[in-house]
Structure 1
């Protein structure tokens, strides 16, 4: 019985150590994650990939073709007639 209990205690201790390690790595990842860009331009398909819309950096409607832009460039694009995201 002692051997059996010792084996289970060892398994439990290894599982606890693995969970703590995973939690530590997740917390480190959250702390080191770069902040999202303030503004994003959604890009079109085709030659030159023309910009389509301006989105906030954390907008959920941004497509997969995008690039971050500065606030000044976003203003310039909007002043040039580019549409802003309605969300």
Structure 2
């Protein structure tokens, strides 16, 4: 593998957070509402602090 392109691969998400969550950490990226809903339905965990599943109306 070319070391110059290794950093370009995206790791799969580990949790979904709301935009104002204090527990989101430093390595995060913004996604659309549809992407967040898809991630949550595919099994990505919802943050237990900000509850994005509730904020998106899933529960």
TM-score, structure 2 length as denominator?
A: 0.65
Which protein has the larger Cα radius of gyration, Structure 1 or Structure 2?
1
Aligned length: 41
Unpaired segments ≥5 residues, structure 2: 1-8, 50-59
Q: CA RMSD in A?
A: 1.1
RCO (CA 8 Å, sep 6+): is it higher in 1 or 2? 2
- Report whether the alignment pairs 1:55 with 2:17: yes
Which one has a larger percent helix, Structure 1 or Structure 2?
A: 1
* 4+ runs deviating over 4 angstroms: none
Which one has a larger percent strand, Structure 1 or Structure 2?
A: 1
Cα distance per residue 1:40-73 (max 9 Å; x no partner): xxxxxxx632210000000000011100001010
